[in-house]
Each structure stands twice: as structure tokens, then as C-alpha cells.
A and B are shown apart, each in its own frame.
Chain A
């Protein structure tokens, strides 16, 4: 709310006062802020579940929670982090930045924008309320495979409708992004002049529009199987549970790129600024992003190598998956080339971006290992998989979001964050996240299965190390909250450019930008 007073200082008509400003707002900056704060809240909700999981796994044996509740924790942790933290954070960044980056006054469909945000609190109230229901929260894993998920108690319809609402919210957000980018660009802002964050979000939005409805269809079929006597996935009635896995992963694989492509965009904005060189290979970055998006539709069955596919299927999905390493490699090499002989400095956003490049690549390599069908039979459903997707999602997506938050926070608030604390946050996070997830590779290779509350004692040491890293990582994030809120409340004034000669239209605006920016479109040369 303090930002409101800051805004009014140089606005002819500022935002409404009080709660109604946030409830009825159609302003892209307000909605972006709401999305980001909601994502931060959910990051801590999902994070506290992760803390409970790591506490239970600190030692072998059952200490704190019963196995059923443990399974609920892993399931809900995933759903909250994916749909509540990572995706809304990216949509929040898109809302704040896309209009400013393409020189538009606002998003193209502001009323729908308000709606797509305000659906989310209801979706997550539905989802989180299941913890207090008869039969507990959903415990069948976030992949909601039948027949297991059909055994969920009263929580089941709440789970399905929460997923429907999240899907509707994502689809509306994505449509808004596409419509804005295609129709609202300033004169002279051609497609191939758009900042890479805008490009990656355009492609992400297409992915969202293509696959979120498929998930909605799949969960609707689960709902009718459970309550209306259909047999889409019930073998006894002629259905096939494996078919659910195909439909789910047809959504699920593009979904993992939905959670990483905007991160690629953020990092592609940050690295050139701090290397003081233009991005190396801009057009190859655009084509690589589009290739990754295309390939994401034809690799889904690598999540289910062990269901008993014929050899030809295993080989196709193995090779197609490995092919994704090519455009991803193009990106990593482009980032490295951008830094080559640059005048680099290492402010917090750059540190997070560099951490992203290194650790996301580790996650990418373990992904390549998992892509090899014959060895996947060993790795499948072990902690190796857990280590892999946490490297790409935590040190990948979440680190990129934090990099973006530090990079644009001075622009949004008009205040500089505390650089010393920012560096502390980076180093604490980076060290603890590796202590947390790196040992999980070894646990997985040694055969520890995922989604279990108790384990054999040979896994004890690595689990204890991992839990200690987990607690340290969780506590480090409190520092992030402190930095963000203290920056909102005050701090050294940020200049309009904030950084040393950054590229992009958003830096031509004041810091903080006026409530309505680019009411007359800027000319892009």
C-alpha cells in the first residue's frame, strides 16, 4: 500500500484507495503485484510442506507424520509450488513487464486480467481446504494417476475443481499475453525486435493455451469415472489407466517448459546488462525457444518408459527427448558467449542468473541421463528423478524468478534493494540448495524410491545432509521476504535506468513507473 502513495506523487489520476484498488483493479502493474505477492505466499505455503517432508526424512523411521499425511504433503507441495508459486510468479512478471517492454499502455484485456488473478485465491482455498477434510488431502501424487487417485476421499472433487479453476486462470492469462503481444506493440517494435522475455512468454502462452485444456479434459474424465460411472480409466469397465498417463503427460511435458521458458527469457534480459554486451545470437534464441516448444509435444512418453511400451516407442521417445538438448544447448552457449569478454559485474540479479545457468545445466544433464530408456528403468521413481526436477525447477525456474525480482524491483518500487543482503541471500540459497538436492542424486542411484516417509538405514546419512540443506534453504528465503518488503517500504532512490545502460523500453520510464505508462506509444527505431 505504501507504493500507492509513492505513485500518486507523479500521477494525474492515481489508483483508487484501500482494498477496492486491489479487488477491482484492471491495471497491469497492480495485477502483476498481486500475482507476485500471491506467488510469494504460495512459495512459503508449499515450502512449509517441504520442511515437514524433510523433517520426516531427517532420520529413518516414522517421527512426525503418518504415512498417509506424508503422501498428502508431497502431493500438495507439488501442486502448490507448480500452480501456486512458479506459474503465478511468471504471470506476474509478464503482467508487470510485457506492456512496459513493448511500449503498450496496459494489457489488451484488462478486465479479464483482473478475473484471471482473482480466480486463483479461490482455487487455492479449495485445494488447501482439503487438509481439513474426511480422508485427508489428495495423496496420490501431483500426477493424479488413476486408479490410485480415485481412492481419494472427500477431497477428490475439490482437487478436480481446483485444477479446473487454476487451468481457467492460466488460459485467460495466456490469452491476454498473446493478444497483448500481437496487437499492442509500439510502432516500430517488430516481432524480431521484441525483448527475449516477451518472445519466451509469447511461446509459453501458446503452450498454455494448447495444453491446459487437455489437463482440464483429463481431470474431467477422472471426475466422471469417480462419480458418474464412466470407465475412461477403469479397467473393469473397459477403460485403461495407462491412457490417463498418456493424456496427462501430453499436458505435463509442455507444462515443464511452461515453467522454464519464461526463466530463459529473464536470464536473457539480465546477462547482457551485467556483461555490458548485447545478447549473443538473438534470433537463434528465438528459434531455439520455438523448437523447444514444438519438441515438447512429442516427447511425453519419456515420463512412462516403464509402463511396457514397445521398443519402437521407447526409441522414438528417447531420441526425441535427447533432441531437446540441442536447442537448449544453443541457449546455454549463447549465454556463455554473451559473457565472453564482457565487462562483467556481479550484482545480485547477475549472481542468480549465473547460478541459473550453471545449476539449470546440471538439471539438464541429469534429464539427459533420465532420457536414456534402458537406464531409466533403474532411475524411474527414485530420488534421482526428484533431484533432477528440483535442479530444473528450484535452481532453474525459482532462481530465475528471484533474479528477475532483484533486477526489476528497483524499477517497480523506485528504491534500491540492499545489495549486501541480496548477496547473502544468493550465497546462502546457492550453497544450501546444493546441500539439499545434490545428495538426492546419490540416494536415487542407490535405489531410494520417491514418495516414501520411511527408508532403509543405508540412506540415512545422505538424507540427513539433504534435510539440513533443506532447512537452511527454507530459512534463507525469509531473508528474501525481508529484502523485498524493506525495498517496497524505502531505501536508496533508484535511478530511471537503475543499472549501467540496460536495454529495453522499461528503463526509459521513471522508477517507479507512472500508474499509466506509455499512454502515447513510444517510437522504436
Chain B
């Protein structure tokens, strides 16, 4: 096959196209990461709450006597010998008013640990109506050996919350991030800052 054979040319063209699709789909797999995070940020799906303190949060007078139950859950990532609990298990709150709840964490490891709490709100669709002005989850928390302390969360439920949702659950999971942050750069934040969820 030394002369340009039309069939061979067609074969090479199809081959190039298919390789292009395969490489493109490999990229698409990675593109799903920012897509997913942007999608969740916009829609508030997946219980992701706003990625920082809500800046202009003004208390509004309650238009109705509606109350919403907010439940608090504290979880530890597996294998952490910590104590971590909310001060109360639930609160009745009025939308438009700000409240403070405290969480207690105690590092039982006997060494200094940098930990990070990741919040999640269920039902997921209500997450964007749950605002936090102050939260221990916005920054990494350093705990000395056997140190325990109370940490506040100041939050407000948006009056625009659909009246289908009368119970919200705010859950925190504590992760030991000490080793990770010390050892290596964080890949995701470098690529796409918006993906940081705290």
C-alpha cells in the first residue's frame, strides 16, 4: 500500500476521530468536577451551604408566627478519638431572626491536631436558605493535646424558605486534616477556588 489508498485514508480519518473522542471524554471526566460543584452551588443541591459567612445579614421582623425546627448533628470521621456534640439537639427558630448555637469539641488524641468541620444541611434544597454569619467551620481549628472548647455558630433561616420545609438538619463532620495540609498542596483549590465548601 504505497499509493494513497482511499480506504486506508478513510480508516485513518475514522481512527483520528475516535481517538479524539476518547481523549475528549477523558477530559470530560475531569470537567465533571467543576460542573458538579457549580451545579451544586447554584441549586444548593447536595446540602452544600454557602462557602463563607453571609455578609449582609439583617434581621427581619417576623411576618408570621411561623417557626422552623433546626436539628443539630455532630459526626466524627472514622477513627477519631474525639468528643464532638452540639449544646442542644434542636431549636425552634423564627425565620428572619439570628440565633447562636454552640458545639463542644474535645481532642482526645493527646497530641496537637488541626481539624476541619464540614457542614451539610438537609433537605438539600433548603441549604441555600440557611445562612451562617459565624461558624467554626469557616476556618481550620487547631486543638492542643486534650484540649476541649465550645465553638459558636451564628445562623439565620431565610424567610424565603419554602413552607414545604419545616424541619432542617444541620450536620457537621469533623475531619483530622493535620497530616494532609502539612504534607501536600491541595489540588482542587488550586485548580478551582469555588469548590471550597466551607
Contacts and interface: CB of A to CB of B under 8 A. Distances in A.
Given A214-B29, A217-B30, A175 B45 contact: no
B188 A232 contact: yes
Given A213-B22, A214-B26, A308 B173 contact: no
A314 to B, nearest CB: 12
B15 A229 contact: no
Interface residues of A, number: 44
Given A232-B187, A246-B36, A308-B47, A238 B180 contact: no
Contacts of B180: 229, 231, 234, 236-237
A250 B32 contact: yes
A491 interface: no
A213 B25 contact: yes
A224 to B, nearest CB: 6
A210 interface: yes
Contacts of A216: 26, 29
Contacts of A209: 18, 21-22, 25
B21 A210 contact: yes
A329 to B, nearest CB: 30
A242 B118 CA distance: 14
A183 B8 CA distance: 8
Interface string A203-221: 0000001111111111001
A237 B188 contact: yes
Nearest to A243: B36
Contacts, number: 132
Contact of A183 (B14, B29, B173): B14
A232 B25 contact: no
Given A210-B21, A236-B77, A246 B32 contact: yes
Interface in B29-50: 29-30, 32-33, 36-37, 40, 45-47
A230 interface: yes
A178 B19 CA distance: 11
B197 A238 contact: yes
Contacts of B185: 229
Interface stretch (B60-68, B83-91, B121-129): B121-129
A389 to B, nearest CB: 24
A372 interface: no
B105 to A, nearest CB: 15
Question: Which of A184, A216, A237, A239 has most chain B Cβ within 10 Å?
Answer: A237
A179 B15 contact: yes
B25 A243 contact: no
Contact of A229 (B7, B30, B33, B186): B186
Contacts of B11: 108-109, 179, 183-184
B61 to A, nearest CB: 31
Contact of A238 (B15, B32, B188): B188
A178 B184 contact: no
B14 A230 contact: no
The 3 A-B pairs of least Cβ separation, nearest first, read A229-B184, A217-B29, A230-B187
19 contacts: A174-B18, A211-B25, A214-B32, A216-B29, A229-B180, A229-B183, A230-B186, A231-B187, A231-B189, A232-B188, A236-B77, A237-B180, A238-B189, A238-B197, A238-B198, A242-B46, A243-B36, A246-B32, A308-B47
Given A209-B21, A221-B30, A231-B188, 9 more contacts: A108-B15, A184-B7, A211-B25, A217-B27, A218-B29, A228-B184, A237-B188, A247-B33, A310-B123
